[in-house]
Each structure stands twice: as structure tokens, then as C-alpha cells.
Amino acid sequence: MKTRLLAAIAALFIASPACAQLITAPIYRDSAGNPQSGSVDKTLCSSDSGSTWVPCAPSGGGGGGSSGGTATAATPTYTEGATSQPLSLDLSGRLRTLTTLSGTLPAYASIPAFKVDQTTPGTTDSFTPKATESHLGQVGGTTIIASANFTTPSGTTAYASGQLIANSATAGSVTPLTFAVCRTNANTGMVRRIRLKTTDTGFTGLTVYVKLYRDTPTLTNGDHGTWLTTESNYLGTVSVSLDQHFSDAEKGVGVPTAGSEINFDCASGSSNIYGLVVATSAVTPQGAKVFTAVAEVLAN
């Protein structure tokens, strides 16, 4: 009797297409083995063969515990970032940046000369801003040391007070000293001092003037002629005493004759001011000697 009862129970399980519901309720997975969630019962049923597990049918779904229930994974809702957007997220939630943009950037995303390189994940990102003269407020206080020189004509004819010391006796061939003193064209600044030296020992202990202009002056006379020029936005005069005697040069450091500095504004399209050297007393030169002037400038 017992044997026949056990055989009948076994036959019932083999013949029935229905699956037996598990007592426990582990996390269930789809056919690919991925954990799932949804509205179905979170219990598993055995298939007829007993070799695989599938989700049980939903409660009240009609038909008890058949394998007609289906578990589905919710596909994430995601829209790829447009190429006009410099920042977006990929499907894994990682921040994505675009180094090449197309279309029109929205106003808030307009970042001139800004780049973040994330081509190689895990590397240190950096950016290089574009250098411009557009500052948050005026930037100044730059020290500029501007140098210029010329060589006098040969000859030992004496200079008289007020005569020009230059590179040519012909007015049209005189080249004024050119000092590059502005950080940018048409900028401003001040000349604090001028250093002057010459290899002509005939100037030992003598004083000369350095006349400064914003624009290139037009001269009436050349070397050994009376100093006379166009006004050319004349800036001021620096008096230099060549009171330092060296084995190879005479040198001195001079300051403005009026005030403690000479303020200047470079012309449009220029970063230069110009200078001429004038004798203040009689002096007999050696001729064909070099004069070098150095302007000490505080530029804006």
C-alpha cells in the first residue's frame, strides 16, 4: 500500500506541467543571469525538467503557479548629449567632455580658450588659458630697462653748449635714440632715470641733456648744429652728469630736470619714445665714439 502511494505521488509531479513554488524567496534573475526587479512575485519556480529556474506567474494572474509570468528589466531612459553641449553623462553615469563642438553653444556654456582633456581616463586633466590684455582691472607696475645707442661722426671739432650730439652731421640722417618703453602699443608709464655712458673720454665730468619725445622729431640741424626740432609731443629733459670715470668709459645717471619722473603715453600703434643728446658746455670730443643711453621705466 505504501509503495503504491509513493509511486502515485511521483507520477503526479512528473506528469504535471505546473511548477512547484519554492518556500524561500531569493533574488531572481533573467535568462542571462542578471538580477531583475518588477511587479512579478519574487519567487522562483522549477521548470518541468528541474534543470533551470524561471519566475513564477504573478499572484492572481490566472492559473496558479504556471511559468507564464515574465520578468523584464527596465531600460534606462537616456539621451546622448548633443555636440553643442560641452558636458554630458554617458550610460554608466561618467562625466563626458567634448573637445570638438559643433552647432551654437548656449550663452552659459561659452567658455573662451578653455579645454579639459579626458582622452585618457585617470590622467591629470589641465587647461591653458589664452593670454590676452583683457584684465579684471588695470595691471601695471612693470619695470622696463630700455637701451639705445649711436656712434658720433669722426673728428675733434669742439661742441658748444646747446649743440646736438648725434650720429650724423646731416639733419635728415640723424637717428634719434629709440626706447621701447611701453608694454603694449599706446600704453603709458614713467621715466625715472637715464643712465648714459660713452667711450669718448673727452666728456669726463661733463653734463649733457637727454631730450625725450613721444613722436619721432624732425631736426633742423645735425651733429654739431644747434639743437632745434619739431615739438613732436616733447616729454621732458633728463640731466646726466658723466661724473663716473672708468678705464673704458665715462658714465653717469641722471634724473628729470622737472619733477621726479617723466610721464609718457606711447603713440597709437607704437611702444616707443625717442631721445636726443645735447651738450651743456664746451667739449672737445675724440670722435667716432659710442654713446649708450638706458632708460629706467615704470610701465603700466
* pLDDT digits 0-9 by tens, 1-22: 556 655 555 555 554 444 444 4
At 20-61, the pLDDT tens digits run 444 344 445 555 566 555 444 444 454 444 444 555 555 444
Q: One-letter amino acid identity for 191?
A: V
Say what the pLDDT of residue 19 is. 43
Give dist(CA 35, CA 23) in Å, integer: 19
Say what the pLDDT of residue 93 is. 67
* Consecutive 10-residue averages of pLDDT for the chain (300 residues): 57 48 46 53 46 50 44 48 59 64 52 54 62 68 95 97 98 98 95 98 97 98 98 98 97 98 97 98 97 97
290, three cell numbers: 659710442
Say what the pLDDT of residue 161 is. 98
What is the CATH code for 142-299?
Answer: 2.60.120
At 73-99, the pLDDT tens digits run 455 444 454 455 566 666 666 666 655
Domain coordinates in residue numbering, the chain: 2-55, 142-299
